[in-house]
């Protein structure tokens, strides 16, 4: 089983996310992560999906996505040729006995504490999935109150864009 | 000119070359029906007994003519009654545009009377669907829907139009009918690889499906078959794609396929699949299917390549255009040894059947064949009769066999036959069973109203024969809910609807009844009693391989 990231450029219309996720649901393809946002053009949205499977499943997913008329372009993003980032917000208990260890970890990871109260600290971290996972793992030594992460967003390195990748 | 949304719907349908629509009126589509009244000289509307019948009729019309079938229904239950028909068309790649009314935009989302989220419901069974938010986009949406329905791999498209959009007015300018998006051949490099694969083969077999008919690639297929001296078989959806008596044609293949066709595919070292999708009913156990066989798979829908079986050579492209580029690269070869092997399969098949004059399902179909001309459309329902029809019907031209292959919809045939008759003007035939006929026999009313010349042959065994066959073979003869014993008198039923009918007990009676039926100007039911223990054979047990094929059932 391999992890894959594909970016899907779709027409920016009501219900478009539903059409894409409905295809995944209907064929029992599992989505690990998903992000959606408007693009540089208000006519298009970009959906970034991470899933796992074998190369045949990946090809089937891409082929099935291309059958949706609202899909304009699809690009597979590979970690070594793309910038892949996630944003993490984690709320940990602000306990005097562990506070300095937590703040040391924040510094080591170049994370940021974005909210600080007597009882809790909210830490913000961006990075690739491995880095986010490692930081969460580290925080498990302390008391995690709540976690929220965005799922991956990704852009190909260099000047190429998803639109030039259309129908390849 | 300034027109209301409902007028625009009808004018755009006319503009797109639509001659007939099938449907059923209701509260939220009443404006469109008012426009249909206004333009009744330019666009014919066929009122069915039930919306499901209307979708099957639009489907049958499309299958028989190759044009886009159009169905219209109201919101709520009218729309949900379309679902089975839309799904049937989707699974068999039939071009269809379904138009539904909905409650006014300002009521959407409030669960108002007869409001249903039909675009949500039909999301996985349409190529695409639209909720029309403003009258300004209405005409172009219908045009886009027509183009989408007929482009590439055809399929159904639904347009949901809230009532206020039907009422609102805007400028309408007629346009030329849209055509399908242009087709392309597969990539040259893929074609070269496929040619090598075919040239290296010793025992090639050509297997085609409904995609061949859509692509109109019969000539190219036969040119290829002649060049490489290969036998040809087809899926259920391919039937009528080639003349039944073509010397290279071995017939349908798969679970209930003809023995020779299945054996030839099993023993081939290279399968050339054209517009077919290796459905489980064709492959049986996929792990054991074509293990040492190379597959060259040509389909306009790229997602079919490698979906169920691994194709050594997957070619995404139009079949006709791709074969035209492939043919010059193919080396002409004679294969006497392979030919002999295939003839052996063919002989094993014919030796197995002793000719008789008994009223067997096979003999009933063979008797029917004598009454068909090359243009007669023959629809079926689903079950044993469907397989007997597929195995034994004789066709001379394509688009004359109408059967629900992918979804397997019992009740499909009645509407489909009406639609096919409407589209072709030919006296149509429905082969059905007493179970399937019971599902949508209300469309007899439609056939009577419109004087649809239609022969309805019911192979009546008083049981749900296909399920019963499985129960006999795999469930220790536990006949759970498959014995109908309904006491329905189909002849009097036909008469009650205003049609005609008769019951037959012998082949001779059937032959005479068919003569009367084809002379009738309207639906004519022939209730043909057959033995409930007749089996559809051969049979590949579900999940089995060719080693498990059942050709005979011991008594």
Q: Give the torsion through C-alpha atoms of B175, B176, B180, B181, to 10 deg.
A: -70
**pLDDT at residue B352, as a whole number:** 59
A66: which chain B residues are within 8 Å (Cβ-Cβ)? 302-303
Average confidence (pLDDT) over A100-116: 97
**pLDDT at residue B547, as a whole number:** 79
The rounded mean pLDDT for chain A is: 94
Q: Which residues of B are marked as active site?
A: 51, 113-114, 163, 466
CB-count exposure of residue A133 (10 Å: 0-12, 13-18, 19+): middle
Contacts of B131 (CB under 8 A, 6+ apart): A14, A15, B102, B119, B160, B162
CB-count exposure of residue B356 (10 Å: 0-12, 13-18, 19+): exposed
Phi and psi torsions of B198, nearest 5°: -70, -40
**pLDDT at residue A167, as a whole number:** 46
Q: Indicate the domain borders of chain A.
A: 2-77, 83-153
Please indicate if any CB of chain A lies within 8 Å of the CB of B307. Answer: yes
Contacts of B196 (CB under 8 A, 6+ apart): none
Contact between B339 and A105 (Cβ < 8 Å): no
| Per-residue pLDDT tens listing for chain B (555 residues) | 999 999 999 999 999 999 999 999 999 999 999 999 999 999 999 999 999 999 999 999 999 999 999 999 999 999 999 999 999 999 999 999 999 999 999 999 999 999 999 999 999 999 999 999 999 999 999 999 999 999 999 999 999 999 999 999 999 999 999 999 999 999 999 999 999 999 999 999 999 999 999 999 999 999 999 999 999 999 999 999 999 999 999 999 889 999 999 999 999 999 999 999 998 888 888 888 878 899 999 999 999 998 888 888 999 999 999 999 999 999 999 999 999 999 999 998 876 567 788 999 999 999 999 999 999 999 999 999 999 999 999 999 999 999 999 999 999 999 999 999 999 999 999 999 999 999 999 999 999 999 999 999 999 999 999 999 999 999 999 999 999 989 999 999 999 999 999 999 999 999 999 999 999 999 999 999 999 999 999 998 888 887 788 888 764
B124: which chain A residues are within 8 Å (Cβ-Cβ)? 22-23, 26
**pLDDT at residue B306, as a whole number:** 87
Closest chain A CA to residue B302: A63
Identical fold, A2-77 and A83-153: yes
Q: Are B119 and A15 an interchain contact pair (Cβ–Cβ within 8 Å)?
A: yes
CA angle B145, A13, A21 (to 5 degrees): 90
ω into residue B130 within 30 of 0, thus cis? no
Contact between A15 and A50 (Cβ < 8 Å): no
Contact between B80 and B119 (Cβ < 8 Å): no
Domains contained in chain B, CATH given: 2-171 (3.40.50.970), 188-351 (3.40.50.1220), 361-541 (3.40.50.970)
Q: How far is A163 from chain B (nearest CA, A)?
A: 20
CB atoms within 10 A of CB B154: 25
Closest chain A CA to residue B154: A67
**pLDDT at residue A150, as a whole number:** 94
- Candidates A59, A65, A66, A70: best to mutate against B (most CBs of B within 10 A) is A59
CA distance B549 to B253: 12
Q: Are B310 and A26 an interchain contact pair (Cβ–Cβ within 8 Å)?
A: no
DSSP B390-410: HHH---SSSS-EE---SS--T
- Cα(first)–Cα(last) distance of chain B, in Å? 74
CATH T-level fold of A83-153: Alpha-Beta Plaits (3.30.70)
CA distance A59 to A4: 11
Please indicate if any CB of chain B lies within 8 Å of the CB of A67. Answer: yes
Q: Are A26 and B124 an interchain contact pair (Cβ–Cβ within 8 Å)?
A: yes
Which pTM does this prediction carry? 0.95
**pLDDT at residue B287, as a whole number:** 82
ipTM, interface predicted TM-score of the complex: 0.87
CA distances from B150 to A91, B108, B144, B183, B524 (A): 54, 30, 10, 11, 34
CA distance B463 to B460: 8
Closest chain B CA to residue A167: B302
Burial B450-483 (b: 16+ CB within 10 A, else e): bebbbbbbbbbbbbbbbbbbebbeeeeeeeeebe
At the top level of CATH, which class does the domain A2-77 belong to? alpha beta
pLDDT at residue A165 is higher than 60: no
Q: Are B124 and A63 an interchain contact pair (Cβ–Cβ within 8 Å)?
A: no
**pLDDT at residue B351, as a whole number:** 62
Please indicate if any CB of chain A lies within 8 Å of the CB of B180. Answer: no
CA distance A65 to A71: 7
Cβ under 8 Å to B: A residues 5-44: 14-15, 18-19, 22-23, 26
Q: Which of B123, B148, B302 sits opposite A22 (nearest CB)?
A: B123
Q: How far is A64 from chain B (nearest CA, A)?
A: 6
Torsion over CA: B7, B10, B16, B19 (sign): negative
CA distance B31 to B50: 20
Q: How far is B307 from chain A (nearest CA, A)?
A: 7
């Amino acid at each position: 089983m391999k992890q894959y990231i594909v970016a899907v450029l779709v027409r920016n219309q009501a219900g478009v996310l539903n059409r894409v996720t409905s295809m995944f649901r209907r064929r029992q393809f599992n989505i690990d992560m998903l992000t959606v946002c408007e693009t540089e053009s208000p006519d298009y949205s970009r959906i970034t999906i991470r899933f796992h499977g074998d190369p045949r499943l990946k090809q089937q997913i891409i082929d099935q996505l291309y059958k949706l008329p609202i899909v304009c372009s699809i690009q597979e993003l590979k970690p070594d040729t793309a910038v892949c980032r996630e944003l993490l917000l984690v709320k940990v208990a602000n306990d005097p006995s562990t506070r300095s260890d937590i703040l040391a970890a924040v510094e080591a990871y170049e994370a940021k504490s974005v909210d600080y109260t007597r009882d809790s600290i909210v830490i913000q971290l961006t990075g690739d999935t491995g880095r986010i996972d490692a930081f969460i793992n580290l925080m498990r030594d302390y008391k995690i109150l709540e976690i929220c992460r965005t799922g991956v967003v990704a852009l190909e390195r260099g000047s190429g864009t998803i639109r030039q990748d259309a129908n390849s | 000119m300034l027109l209301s949304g409902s007028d625009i719907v009808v004018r755009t349908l006319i503009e797109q070359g639509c001659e007939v629509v099938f449907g059923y009126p209701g509260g939220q589509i009443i404006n469109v029906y008012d426009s249909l009244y206004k333009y009744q000289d330019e666009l014919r509307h066929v009122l069915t007994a039930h919306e499901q019948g209307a979708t099957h009729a639009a489907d049958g019309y499309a299958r028989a003519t190759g044009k886009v079938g159009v169905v219209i229904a109201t919101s709520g239950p009218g729309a949900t009654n379309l679902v089975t028909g839309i799904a049937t068309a989707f699974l068999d790649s039939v071009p269809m545009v379904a138009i539904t009314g909905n409650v006014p935009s300002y009521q959407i989302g409030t669960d108002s009377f007869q409001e249903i989220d039909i675009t949500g419901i039909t999301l996985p069974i349409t190529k695409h669907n639209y909720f029309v938010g403003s009258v300004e986009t209405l005409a172009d949406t219908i045009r886009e829907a027509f183009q989408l329905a007929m482009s590439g791999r055809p399929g159904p498209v639904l347009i949901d139009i809230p009532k206020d959009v039907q009422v609102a007015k805007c400028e309408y300018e007629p346009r030329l009918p849209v055509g399908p998006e242009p087709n392309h051949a597969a990539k040259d490099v893929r074609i070269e690889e496929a040619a090598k694969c075919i040239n290296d083969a010793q025992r090639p077999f050509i297997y085609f499906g409904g995609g061949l008919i859509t692509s109109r690639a019969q000539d190219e297929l036969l040119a290829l078959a002649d060049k490489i001296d290969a036998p040809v078989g087809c899926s259920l959806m391919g039937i009528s794609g080639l003349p039944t008596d073509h010397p290279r044609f071995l017939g349908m293949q798969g679970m209930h396929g003809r023995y020779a066709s299945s054996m030839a595919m099993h023993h081939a070292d290279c399968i050339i699949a054209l517009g077919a999708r290796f459905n489980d009913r064709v492959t049986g156990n996929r792990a054991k299917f074509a293990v040492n066989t190379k597959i060259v798979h040509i389909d306009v829908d790229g997602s079919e390549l490698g979906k169920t079986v691994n194709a050594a050579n997957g070619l995404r492209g139009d079949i006709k255009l791709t074969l035209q580029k492939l043919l010059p690269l193919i080396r002409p070869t004679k294969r006497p040894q392979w030919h002999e092997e295939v003839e052996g399969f063919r002989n094993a098949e014919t030796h197995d059947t002793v000719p008789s004059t008994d009223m067997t399902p096979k003999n009933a179909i063979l008797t029917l064949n004598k009454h068909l001309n090359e243009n007669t459309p023959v629809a079926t329902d689903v079950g044993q009769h469907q397989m007997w029809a597929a195995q034994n019907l004789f066709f001379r031209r394509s688009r004359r066999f109408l059967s629900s292959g992918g979804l397997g919809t019992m009740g499909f045939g009645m509407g489909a036959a009406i639609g096919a008759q409407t589209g072709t003007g030919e006296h149509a035939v429905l082969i059905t069973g007493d179970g399937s006929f019971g599902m949508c026999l209300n469309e007899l009313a439609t056939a009577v109203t419109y004087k649809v010349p239609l022969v309805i042959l019911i192979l009546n065994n008083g049981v749900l024969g296909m399920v019963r066959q499985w129960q006999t073979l795999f469930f220790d003869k536990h006949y759970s809910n498959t014995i109908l014993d309904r006491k329905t008198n189909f002849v009097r039923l036909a008469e009650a609807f205003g049609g005609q009918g008769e019951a037959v007990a012998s082949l001779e009676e059937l032959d005479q009844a068919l003569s009367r039926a084809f002379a009738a100007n309207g639906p004519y039911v022939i209730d043909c009693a057959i033995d409930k223990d007749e089996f559809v054979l051969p049979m590949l047990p579900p999940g089995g391989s060719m080693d498990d094929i059942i050709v005979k059932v011991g008594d």
